[in-house]
Amino acid sequence: MDVVGLVSGGKDSCYAMMKCVQYGHKIVALANLMPDDNLVDELDSYMYQTVGHQIIVCYAECMGVPLFRRRIRGTTRHQNLSYRLTPGDEVEDMFILLSEVKRQIPSIAAVSSGAIASDYQRLRVESICSRLGLVSLAYLWKQDQSFLLSEMISNKIVAIIVKVAALGLDPAKHLGKEIAELNPYLHKLKELYGINVCGEGGEYETLTLDCPLFTGARIMLTNFEVILHSSGVIAPVGILHPSGFHLIKKDDSVPLSNRTSSVFEVVNDCSPEAEDASQPVVISNSVHLSDCKLRISGTGNDSVFSICCWLTDGCQSSADLQSDLEVVLQKIDSVLLERGCGWESVLYIHLYIADMKAFSSANQMYVKYITQDKCPFGVPSRSTIELPLSKVGLGKAYVEALVTTDKSKQVLHVQSISCWAPSCIGPYSQATLHNNIIYMAGQLGLDPPTMVLCSGGLSGEMEQALENSEAIAKSFKCSVSSSAILFVVYCSKEIPALERTKIQEKMDDFLKRNRAANFSKHTRYLDPIFVYVLVPDLPKQALVEVKPVLYVSGNDAMMSDTEDPHTIEPNEWGFQHESWHDSGIQKCIVKGSVCSVILSITDQLATKLCSQSGNQNIEMSGDDQSALQMENIAKFAIYKLGNLLWENNFFWDDVTTLRVYVPISSILIPMEKLSLIFNHAFEEFSQTSQRTKYTKADAVVNLVPVMGSGGSAVAMNDMITCELFAQKLANHL
């Protein structure tokens, strides 16, 4: 991509541009924001470094690209972490500057910035990029600062200290010194006082005088003066004011005076008008909202619930995916409104589509409903999967949304392309934290800096997907290996059956390796459970997608057994207990907080259930036999899950999601009838005993048609696989 580099003169912005070139991009322009008054060295700004701005004009000749500059007219008016368009704010100066760069150089597709750890700065750059249709490149984001500083020095960045403001740094001693010279001392200060060695905490600022991008010349600083801002004994603050400098030509056949570089000052003061994000979305297709089937499940206090919506068997599906999705999203939108909330209340979205080739058009419709403007608390995380929807009469789009009625969610949404983890460019986030649970977006085996699938086939993709998951987990100060409750692993049908064993091998190896690397006698590890789902296709035609659910808490009560379990009542709802009833069960329990269960019902188990129930009737038609078999399976599934909840001190009211994966080979009756069978089984069971404690009239079962599923990647051949998640929300009781 053609890139404009945001430059402050500091080492970070220059090294970020070098990383852009390393990953195949081309720096075609520079952009810089400077004080309105030339005599001012430093502004009181949360966004911009301006010390040494007098020298930035030289960068155009050093690099041979045009430099666009604008004087900062705005002030810090919008101080919240996430930025929204605010006239008169200093961020709008960046918008005006980059708008002009884009106007003059239309080929520009991305913006490079040197953000390492500042969410405040990163989010504002991302906001501007989003408004201008540009990609944010932040290749230094979340990188280890000691590693970065060493890399900058070894890659021949020559930068001097131009501001100090930290314990151990003295203006008289350290201003004007090169970072290579001060590297050991900065690491010593890190050990003594915990400073950021790259200066990310404001400890110091730098000015780059030379780097490999400066192909035409390097800058020679010939004279400067030290200005003390604070002469405190502990941490005096001082800046370096450059008063004399010139260029020294490098070995280049083109004279400096003939290099094709220019400096433009952007003086346009037009203030952007706020976009109207409140325009209603108009339904443009012929499918009526009444044709949507809706399922709602949730806790008795309505604090967390899931909405599951698809087109019914009888409706006339539209000719395209976008139209079907429009109807489904509009239906969910109306239900959210009825419940007094909106898309800002959504924690997670499963976007199931019938054709991954139409993903782009589906995403265009998605962003009409779920936008950052509509989600001030953060956009929900998302997983997008192709399912065989059309084959079972569910139209071309199916959406499941997990919703909370409180405002306590925390969202990690990094739109910048970086070396950290895959970016989420658009209205979906890497992860959402709510009530100690991290709901992570589905992770593909994408190489973060290039955003392409990594090499190495299935093994390589699986390894990278897990590494990406771990990077996201670390942002919440936890680890996938110690905090995971549940892994849902979507597997493409393109994976040869004999290759599927590699998926579990990589999973086991990753968890063991990370636990060994982070071993601590004080760490309590959860024992996660797994469900593997075979699907027709995944985004970018990936072979595998990993979707972890994590539990984060300082509570040492993490354990797989609970205290004082409920006593099982004699009523077994017609099932005489057998040892084989417990086959195919995985569970992960966080005492007093979370109950997660995977229940696999195989052909063998289904046959035994049918035999035990005595419901076999050779005179029945094939459809009736299939319906009867599914009734047995549904009843048994609800019975076992209900007992598991009870045994671990949970109730149906605590269930936020009960997802049932049904391979299309098992769907021998209409999906609508199958849905009724499962929900009727639940209603029957909930009336048999007080221990169910279910106060809602809504159904709890979300049916998901798949190509195969199971607790093992090798044998995804269950008749059905149930995935249950329950959580006690003490703060709502």
**Hunting for tokens 């924001």 — which residue is that?**
33
Of 248 and 693, the structure prediction assigns the larger pLDDT to 248
291-407, what's its fold? 60s Ribosomal Protein L30; Chain: A; (3.30.1330)
Q: How long is the chain?
A: 733
Residues 348 and 304: their CA atoms lie apart, in Å, by 11
pLDDT band for position 571 (cuts 50, 70, 90): very low
Query: Which pTM was predicted?
Result: 0.90
Residues 40 and 56: their CA atoms lie apart, in Å, by 14
pLDDT tens digits for 677-689? 988 888 887 776 5
Mean pLDDT over 587-613 rounds to: 87
pLDDT at residue 166, rounded to an integer: 93
pLDDT at residue 26, rounded to an integer: 98
Contact 722/590 with Cβ under 8 angstroms?
A: no
Of 567 and 201, the structure prediction assigns the larger pLDDT to 201
pLDDT at residue 287, rounded to an integer: 54
Residues 199 and 355: their CA atoms lie apart, in Å, by 48
Residues 479 and 528: their CA atoms lie apart, in Å, by 12
Answer whether residue 570 shows pLDDT above 50: no
pLDDT at residue 210, rounded to an integer: 98
pLDDT at residue 557, rounded to an integer: 43
pLDDT at residue 382, rounded to an integer: 97
pLDDT tens digits for 56-111? 999 999 999 999 999 999 988 888 888 888 999 999 999 999 999 999 999 999 99
Same fold flag, 2-265 and 409-554: no
Secondary structure of residue 231 in the 3-state scheme: coil
Please, what is the Cα angle at 534 between 529 and 535, to 5 degrees? Answer: 130
Mean pLDDT over 196-216 rounds to: 95
pLDDT tens digits for 694-731? 555 455 689 999 999 999 999 899 999 999 999 987 54
> Would you state the torsion angle of the CA atoms of residues 566, 570, 576, 579, taken in this order, to the nearest 10 degrees?
30
Q: What are phi and psi of 33, to 5 degrees?
A: -110, 130
Answer whether residue 383 shows pLDDT above 50: yes
Q: Could you tell me the end-to-end alpha-carbon distance of the chain, in angstroms, rounded to an integer?
A: 53
Secondary structure of residue 716 in the 3-state scheme: coil
Contact 172/225 with Cβ under 8 angstroms?
A: no
Please, what is the Cα angle at 151 between 148 and 155, to 5 degrees? Answer: 140
Residues 402 and 375: their CA atoms lie apart, in Å, by 14
Nearest to 461 by CA among 387, 394, 353, 541: 541
Supply the DSSP symbol for 568.
P
Please, is 694 exposed, middle or buried when counting C-beta atoms within 10 Å of its C-beta (0-12, 13-18, 19+)?
Answer: buried
Using the CB atoms, write b or e for 167-182: b if 16+ within 10 Å. ebbebeebbeeebbeb
Residues 6+ apart with CB under 8 A from 83: 89, 91, 123, 124, 127
Residues 6+ apart with CB under 8 A from 251: none
pLDDT at residue 476, rounded to an integer: 95
pLDDT at residue 487, rounded to an integer: 98
pLDDT tens digits for 298-310? 554 568 888 889 8
Q: What are phi and psi of 709, to 5 degrees?
A: -160, 160
Contact 513/472 with Cβ under 8 angstroms?
A: no
Nearest to 639 by CA among 574, 566, 584: 574
pLDDT tens digits for 137-150? 999 999 999 999 99
Residue 386 bridge partners (DSSP): 353, 537
Residues 631 and 616: their CA atoms lie apart, in Å, by 12
Residues 445 and 461: their CA atoms lie apart, in Å, by 4
Answer whether residue 522 shows pLDDT above 70: no
Please, is 690 exposed, middle or buried when counting C-beta atoms within 10 Å of its C-beta (0-12, 13-18, 19+)?
Answer: exposed
409-554, what's its fold? 60s Ribosomal Protein L30; Chain: A; (3.30.1330)
Q: What percent of the chain has pLDDT over 70?
A: 85
Answer whether residue 732 shows pLDDT above 60: no
Q: How many CA atoms lie within 13 A of 277 on its CB side?
A: 13
pLDDT band for position 336 (cuts 50, 70, 90): very high
Lowest-confidence pick of 224-228, 273-277, 370-374, 448-452: 273-277
pLDDT at residue 380, rounded to an integer: 97
Whole-angstrom CA distances from 492 to 239, 515, 539, 543 are 57, 28, 10, 5
Nearest to 482 by CA among 525, 438, 527: 525
Mean pLDDT over 31-56 rounds to: 89
Lowest-confidence pick of 44-48, 126-130, 329-333: 44-48
Residues 195 and 331: their CA atoms lie apart, in Å, by 52
Structure token digits, residue 147: 């590693």
pLDDT tens digits for 621-669? 556 778 888 898 999 999 889 889 988 999 888 889 999 999 999 888 8
Residues 223 and 478: their CA atoms lie apart, in Å, by 49
- H helix intervals, 496-595: 501-517
Residues 489 and 189: their CA atoms lie apart, in Å, by 45
Contact 441/468 with Cβ under 8 angstroms?
A: no
Residues 6+ apart with CB under 8 A from 104: 66, 68, 264
Contact 228/173 with Cβ under 8 angstroms?
A: no
Structure token digits, residue 144: 């280890």
CATH code matching the domain that covers 2-265, chosen among 3.40.50.620, 3.20.20.70, 3.40.718.10, 3.40.190.10: 3.40.50.620
pLDDT at residue 275, rounded to an integer: 46
Answer whether residue 613 shows pLDDT above 70: no
pLDDT, mean over the chain: 87
pLDDT tens digits for 473-503? 999 999 999 999 999 999 999 999 999 999 9
pLDDT at residue 576, rounded to an integer: 61
Please give the single-letter amino acid code of residue 623. D
Residues 166 and 100: their CA atoms lie apart, in Å, by 37
User: Would you kindly state where each structural domain of the chain is located, as residue ranges?
Assistant: 2-265, 291-407, 409-554, 596-613+621-724
Structure token digits, residue 224: 């400067």
Contact 548/484 with Cβ under 8 angstroms?
A: yes
pLDDT tens digits for 257-313? 555 569 999 997 765 554 444 444 454 555 566 677 766 655 545 688 888 898 875
Secondary structure of residue 598 in the 3-state scheme: strand
pLDDT at residue 495, rounded to an integer: 97
Structure token digits, residue 297: 């499940």
pLDDT at residue 110, rounded to an integer: 98
pLDDT at residue 343, rounded to an integer: 95
Residues 6+ apart with CB under 8 A from 578: 608, 612
pLDDT band for position 578 (cuts 50, 70, 90): low
Contact 518/479 with Cβ under 8 angstroms?
A: yes
Lowest-confidence pick of 209-213, 256-260, 361-365, 517-521: 256-260
